[in-house]
Amino acid sequence: MSSRDAPEGLDDLRRRLDEIDAALIGLVAERLDVARRVAKRKARAGDRLFHRDREEAVVAARRDAGAALGLDPELVEDLFRRLILASHAAQSVILREARADDARRVAIIGGAGAMGSFLARFFAEQGHEVLIADVATPLTPEAAADAADVVVVSVPIAVTEEVIGRVGPRVRPGGALMDVTSLKEAPVRAMLGSTDAEVVGLHPMFGPSVGSVHRQVFAVCPGRGERWLGWIRETLLSQGAELVECSPDEHDRAMAVIQVLRHAATMAFGRALRDLGVDIEDSLRFSSPIYRLELIMTGRLFAQSPDLYADLSLGNAHRGPVAEALERAVSQVAGVVRSGDREAFIREFRDVAAYFEGFAERALVESDSLIARMVERM
């Protein structure tokens, strides 16, 4: 707030910072523009847009270039990861204009819902013709199924089997029936029973609020047939999604942990906070980053639909042992905490730490980076 007399005053330096930032922003805009032009060319040539290997090579090269100028490679990696993500979002839009000759007709049953709208936009962006059927649309699920090459069922779990029973028999021979339910045993069984067409079970392992499928995981359960399985694989991979192929049984067993166990633990944490009369805002003042992170993940769960969570937990055939294991584990840990028995606490801690060995160190590094990102925006 002074020093205007000096040869290089604070004002001069601030002006220089403003100039640098303006140039940075201009280059970012140009980078996105060039990325769009790349997408146009690739779409015209029918090339796949996303190549994870190439992306990793670009990131590694930028890290090296930064290091050569004395920059922290982690800083450079963070910046370019963010730019690459933005490029992908910009490129996805381009694809709408291309691929007219590959266009399929895709019916989204439940296409007015959050995930249904996401899928409708996703397929439309790739040049496909999308038919949307939902409870309030003039187009019925049956009529949409009649008219489509691929029928995707994206409805609440509770009505999935019923809807599959209605549209399955209408899927054309040579077409395909798919679903995006968060459970896979019952829906895939229902699809196989309702149609002779090809069948694929999908589970997008993310919510519809993501910007694109880039780097998002889809569980893929092959049901019947190879042609449309290949098509959906290529459709997702070409947009940068990651696929995990598994049987419906494997999938639902994994979800008993990833969803049932995790959601129960989170719900219980939220309930304990409420029962203790914790004032959320007050506790956030202290906000260690880890507590804040747990609190926003807990708040996130409770911002969503109770019906969805009831379906995910209660519809999973493997829920029983998982809920029991959580109850036993909490009772064990809480017991040790209440007792104040230090030896027992340390024994308990070491037991579980041994199970996490090999993963824990990696988790520390990964969570450090994540926490740093969160603290920046706190």
Instruction: Considering only the stretches 127-135, 160-168, 191-199, 337-345, report the one whose residues sit in contact with a second copy under the rule CB under 8 A.
Output: 337-345
**Residue among 52, 30, 36 nearest 89 (CA):** 36
* 139/374 with CB nearer a second copy: 374
Q: Is position 147 an interface residue for a second copy (rule: CB under 8 A)?
A: no
Residues 6+ apart with CB under 8 A from 348: 332, 333, 336
Q: Which of 10, 57, 93, 135 binds a second copy (CB under 8 A)?
A: 10
Considering the complex, what minimum distance in angstroms separates the CB of residue 165 from a second copy? 21
Q: Which of 8, 53, 101, 226 binds a second copy (CB under 8 A)?
A: 8
- Joined tokens for residue 59: 């990131």
Q: Is position 210 an interface residue for a second copy (rule: CB under 8 A)?
A: yes
Which helix (H) or strand (E) covers residue 106, if one does?
strand 105-109
Q: What share of the chain is helix, strand, coil (3-state, %, to 5)?
A: 65, 10, 25
Instruction: Considering only the stretches 91-99, 149-157, 211-219, 227-235, report the one whose residues sit in contact with a second copy under the rule CB under 8 A.
Output: 211-219
CB atoms under 10 Å from CB of 304, counted, come to 11
Residues 111-130, interacting with a second copy (CB under 8 A): none
Residues 6+ apart with CB under 8 A from 194: 164, 165, 167, 168, 169, 177
Q: Are 251 and 315 in contact (CB under 8 A)?
A: no
- Residue 67 CA to residue 59 CA, distance in Å, equals 12
Considering the complex, what minimum distance in angstroms separates the CB of residue 297 from a second copy? 6
- Residue 316 CA to residue 253 CA, distance in Å, equals 8
* 186/205 with CB nearer a second copy: 205
Q: Which of 53, 70, 136, 173 binds a second copy (CB under 8 A)?
A: 70
Pairing of strands 198-204, 217-224: antiparallel
The string over 348-368, giving b where at least 16 C-beta atoms fall within 10 Å of a residue's C-beta and e elsewhere, is beeeeeeeeeeeeeeeeeeee
Residues 236-295, interacting with a second copy (CB under 8 A): 244, 246, 251, 254-255, 257-262, 264-276, 278, 280-283, 285-291, 293-295
Q: Is position 366 an interface residue for a second copy (rule: CB under 8 A)?
A: yes
Q: Which amino acid is at 27?
A: L
Give the per-residue contact string, 80-99, with a second copy (x = CB under 8 A; - = no): xxxxxxx--x----------
* 174/211 with CB nearer a second copy: 211
Q: Which of 100, 136, 209, 226 binds a second copy (CB under 8 A)?
A: 209
* 174/321 with CB nearer a second copy: 321
Considering the complex, what minimum distance in angstroms separates the CB of residue 118 from a second copy? 14
Q: Are 176 and 225 in contact (CB under 8 A)?
A: yes
CB atoms under 10 Å from CB of 9, counted, come to 13
CB atoms under 10 Å from CB of 132, counted, come to 19
The count of chain residues that interact with a second copy, using the rule CB under 8 A, is 165
* 237/254 with CB nearer a second copy: 254
Residues 299-328, interacting with a second copy (CB under 8 A): 299-300, 302-304, 306-307, 309-310, 313-314, 319-328
Instruction: Considering only the stretches 111-119, 161-169, 173-181, 215-223, report the one whose residues sit in contact with a second copy under the rule CB under 8 A.
Output: 215-223
Q: Which amino acid is at 116?
A: G
Considering the complex, what minimum distance in angstroms separates the CB of residue 209 from a second copy? 5
Considering the complex, what minimum distance in angstroms separates the CB of residue 101 from a second copy? 17
Q: Is position 377 an interface residue for a second copy (rule: CB under 8 A)?
A: yes
Considering the complex, what minimum distance in angstroms separates the CB of residue 124 from a second copy? 21
Residues 12-41, interacting with a second copy (CB under 8 A): 13-14, 16-17, 20-32, 34-35, 37-38, 41
- Residue 87 CA to residue 94 CA, distance in Å, equals 11
